[in-house]
Amino acid sequence: MTGSSCRRFMRPALCVGLLALLVGGARADWLLVPMDHTQADHLRAYGLTFWTLQEPREYRAEWLLNYRSGAFLLEDRRDVRGRALELGVIVESVSDDDVRAIKNIIEDANMDVVILEKAPKVAVYAPPDDTPLRDPWDDAVKMALEYAEIPYDTVWDEQLLNGTLNIEEYDWLHLHHEDFTGQHGKFYGAYRNVSWYQQRVMLFEVEAARLGFPSVPREKGAVAQAIQAYIAQGGFVFAMCSAPETLDIALAAKGGMVDIVEQPLDRTPIDPDFAAKLDYDRTLAFTGFTLRPDPIVYEFSNIDNPTPDMTPDAGTEDFKLFEFSAKYDPIPTMLTQCHVAEVDGFLGQTTSFRRSLLRNSVVVLGDISGSAYVKYIHAKLQKGTFTYLAGHDPEDYRHTVGESATQLELHKNSPGYRLILNNVLFPAAKERPHKT
């Protein structure tokens, strides 16, 4: 990774001549997919690598950690070259001798080689497409998957509660905006008279009743527990924005949150003994937090920074990626592969995570230097893992409700979106013993 700060880095025109030569030329031994500043489309490079791992191909692939900013080494086949050309991804033809030379470099540096096996089965937690609800915001992960042409299924509450979401069916689950406390995203104060908000509340209430729950908070609390169980069984979870914060609140407040949330939304809930009802032993990432239960206040708890810098050019929300030992800590190294060391900040309902409230088991992958907040974290839970990236959209600093979607064609080299796709590809890595 370089030490330069990313400021909307964009590559010049695609090197069409090189790709045409690769497609039409003689077959080499391997194709190197560089992930440094020479790559024309970082995001679709993940899609190309994912495609080579899918059935019926299941070609050989390796992830070269910290080599050329996390390059991929793919088996050289004509259809892989053709796919690279279709996606606009730069690839370089390399021989077995070249690969041996590269791996000699890797052996003597803070780099490593991770074998990629089978493409993970991806699920996104969201209301099904046949519901009348259309959220007035976009999901960065769904946009990244669609732009990289990585297939995914949509799952919602029923699939989680009936056991359809399991590690045999899905390797990876994404959570985005869901409010697992059942407070409907705390949009009541600003949007209670707007049709999309009213439709959303109705949809969630009908779904909770259909699944046999007396209220949305109780139903979402059960879903939160199902997600926790999925991770413990070996699932990989990635979440952004308000999902990480509200997931832990719902887990900590089992048996207590509903006593507050189920009051009428137009009344400020008050319970002086509420803090005593939180069980932090149940949480995944955060501990010792306090809640902000007032429905008019657009904050869930003190986990988030309530006063982030609203000026994009100030740079105070930019976050620095930590550098890990590739040979001893391959998982955090995979998750932080990038062509920059510092990533432009971006806001969200949960913009960042208070450092002092992290559980001891949490590994910080990226933090806002000189502040009380971190941006990017990871941890294990029994057989599985979860990774959280705070904020809403890496390429839209203050994405507001109703704003048009980010066009990733204009951000092919986005470092923030690369972090998302690191997480998508991570489950494909072959498990191996840690070095001692």
pLDDT tens string 236-295: 999 999 999 999 999 998 744 544 444 444 444 434 445 557 899 999 999 999 888 777
> Quick one: pLDDT at residue 127?
82
Chain CA centroid to CA 48, Å:
19
- For residue 385, pLDDT over 90 is answered with yes
Looking at residue 360, its pLDDT comes to: 97
Domains and CATH numbers, the chain: 16-116 (3.30.70), 122-308+347-405 (3.40.50)
Q: Convert the pLDDT of each residue in 4-52 to its tens digit.
A: 333 323 333 334 334 434 444 445 689 999 999 999 999 999 999 999 9
pLDDT band at 111 (very low <50, low <70, confident <90, very high): very high
Q: How far apart are CA 317 and CA 320, in angstroms?
A: 10
Q: Which pLDDT score, from 0 to 100, does residue 70 have?
A: 98
Contact 119, 50 (CB under 8 A): yes
**Structure-block tokens of residue 65:** 């950690």
Distances (CA, A) of 238 to 12, 106, 173, 379: 32, 29, 6, 11
Residue of higher predicted confidence among 399 and 157: 157
Q: 100 or 404: whose pLDDT is higher? A: 100
pLDDT at 424: 97
Q: How confident is the model at residue 132 (pLDDT cuts 50, 70, 90)?
A: low
pLDDT digits (tens, 9 = 90+) for 346-365: 998 899 999 999 999 999 99
Q: State the pLDDT at residue 134.
A: 61
Q: What value does the mean pLDDT take over residues 227-233?
A: 96
More confident of the two residues 410 and 131: 410
| pTM beyond cutoff 0.85 | yes
pLDDT tens track for 168-201: 999 999 997 788 988 888 888 888 888 888 888 8
CB 203 within 8 A of CB 235: no
3-state secondary structure 257-311: HHHHHCCCCCCCCCCCCHHHHCCHHHCCCECCCCECCCCCCCCCECCCCCCCCCC
User: What pLDDT shows up at residue 341?
Assistant: 97
